[in-house]
Amino acid sequence: MKPQALIKRLDAFLYLGLYCWLSVAAALGVTADHYSPYDFYFPSLVSLLISMLPVLLFSWNRYQWRLTWPAKKYRIYWALCFLVYVPLVMLVVSVWTGKGQYFKPGDIIGGCLFTLLLELILLLNSWLRRNLGQWQWIRSFSLEKAIFISIMIIAVILSAMAISSIGDPEYDQNGKLLIGFEFDGVKLLRHPLLFFWFLTQFIFMYGCGYFYFIFNSKVLVPLVLRQHGALLYALAGLALVSISYPLIGALLHWLPINQRLGNVFPADPFRLDNAFGAVLILLLSLPVLLALQWAKQNSQISALEKEKSETELALLKQQLNPHFFFNTLNNLYALSLQQSKQTPESILQLSELMRYVIYRAKEAEVAVSEEVKYIEDYIQLQQIRLKHKPDIQFTKSIHEGTPGIAPLLLIVLVENAFKHGIEPAEEKGMLHLQLVTTATGVHFSCINSYEQETGINAGIGLQNLERRLELLYHGKHQLKTVKENHIFKAELELDLT
């Protein structure tokens, strides 16, 4: 299975991981001599997999069902799985008085609860991704800001725990304070100034480490590593540590909270322990910063490629519009020479065609039905001026949920058929069109007769079509052309997932 296909089934992988973790929890703490942790792990895992099998099947097929099924049908199946089946399993197991040798009904009940929790997280994540554009401040949230806020939160928590541990003989002995996992609201209210005094010092302590991260992020990686190589980066990092760590070590030792905590930072500022901490921050932050630099560079390259593609598409459309314009004017000119009564109607049809080309072609996507209407109008206008009425058939099967497609794609094949097959035919020509759409794709075939062995692929029409397909549907399209026995067949398939 390809990696892309695995990503489409990520939800099933997450649920499988959840049930494995729950089975690990069931096996933890097994100390009896006649029991092995595996005696609890495997029965618990099997019971969870069997009881939650509908959830696994739904999550495995979620991506495909969401694309191919109507929204109402998908919601019904989702509700049956998570709002009916999972609560029903909880109800049945909760009233079941039996008990397995190695696992308890509580394992399955816990699995049901965590299943609903994980599904809620997945739905929330999907909603956030759809609406993230409305919250611009989240997009501008950098790694530096995230780490700074994390430092502030950690400092607040440690300060609260330190105040709560004061006076507790378990943590506060002989003037040495150990920070225990304690939160005492009364002590925090009694000592607000002491809390802020501790908070200020904790912020300074973690701020020293933040200094090395910022220097690495703003100077060493972008300016030294990228421009001068890894060797000078390593030397510059060591120089930074040697210049700064004795001073920072002395400042940390002089902090009043350091003595209260039992001299966590020693009096000797030149101890290599302090230098090792600074080097460790540089080394740990380096892979993260390189990954961010790589992602930023790729984003810039993608933006440039997109801009280039949009510019090229605009030029291709400028070539397409005159191409259609001159063809339809030729049709109208032929009618005027014949003094046909259909000339006014043809002028009106020409107006509709040009309105579509000028206005709708600017859109990124149009409905398939609009493209079909354009093709039908074009065919009708073409038939008016032909001496021999061709055998034209156009069969359509359009799914209501088909996504939009780029404008003026399908018409190129039809126009090519008229130009090289129907118009030059000395006798009755043939043009058979078939359009089939689904919720995930479009299949369009164009079969026409032709007499000239050369020139069938000439013109800018097919060339522009192939180029537009490459730009718009890269890796998601297939255009086949076959010439045999004076029959030209073109098939176009678009993957709209």
pLDDT, one tens digit for every residue, the chain (497 residues): 555 666 778 899 999 999 999 888 888 766 556 677 788 888 888 999 999 999 999 999 988 888 788 888 899 999 999 999 999 998 888 876 555 544 567 788 889 999 999 999 999 888 877 775 555 555 556 778 888 888 899 999 999 999 998 888 888 888 788 888 888 888 888 889 999 999 999 999 999 999 999 999 989 988 898 888 889 999 999 999 999 989 998 999 899 988 888 888 888 888 888 888 899 989 988 888 888 778 777 777 776 677 666 665 565 555 545 655 676 677 677 767 777 677 777 777 777 777 777 777 777 788 888 888 888 888 887 776 676 778 889 998 888 888 888 888 888 888 888 878 887 777 778 889 999 998 888 999 999 888 765 444 445 567 778 877 887 888 888 888 888 888 888 899 988 87
Burial per residue of 305-334, b for 16 or more beta-carbon CB atoms within 10 angstroms, e otherwise: eeeeeeeebeebbeebeebbeebbeebbee
Q: Evaluate whether residue 98 is within a structural domain.
A: yes
Domain stop point among 90, 118, 138: 138
Cα–Cα distance, 223 to 206 (Å, whole number): 25
Domain stop point among 95, 118, 138: 138
Residues 205 and 93 in one domain: no
Q: What is the CATH number of the domain that holds 449?
A: 3.30.565.10
Cα–Cα distance, 152 to 133 (Å, whole number): 27
Q: Evaluate whether residue 232 is within a structural domain.
A: yes
CB neighbourhood size of 363 (10 A): 12
* One-letter identity of residue 335: L
Residues 129 and 155 in one domain: no
Count how many domains the chain has.
Answer: 3
Residues 348 and 418 in one domain: yes
* 37: containing domain: 3-138
Q: Evaluate whether residue 26 is within a structural domain.
A: yes
Residues 421 and 339 in one domain: yes
Residues 355 and 449 in one domain: yes
Q: Evaluate whether residue 275 is within a structural domain.
A: no
Residues 175 and 61 in one domain: no
Q: Evaluate whether residue 296 is within a structural domain.
A: no
Residues 382 and 321 in one domain: yes
pTM comes to 0.50
Q: How far is CA 217 from CA 245, 284, 290, 484, in A?
A: 18, 12, 9, 64
Q: Evaluate whether residue 193 is within a structural domain.
A: yes
Residues 394 and 376 in one domain: yes
Q: Evaluate whether residue 171 is within a structural domain.
A: yes
Residues 241 and 368 in one domain: no
Cβ distance 360 to 409 under 8 Å? no
Residues 425 and 475 in one domain: yes
Residues 333 and 469 in one domain: yes
Q: Evaluate whether residue 221 is within a structural domain.
A: yes
Residues 474 and 326 in one domain: yes
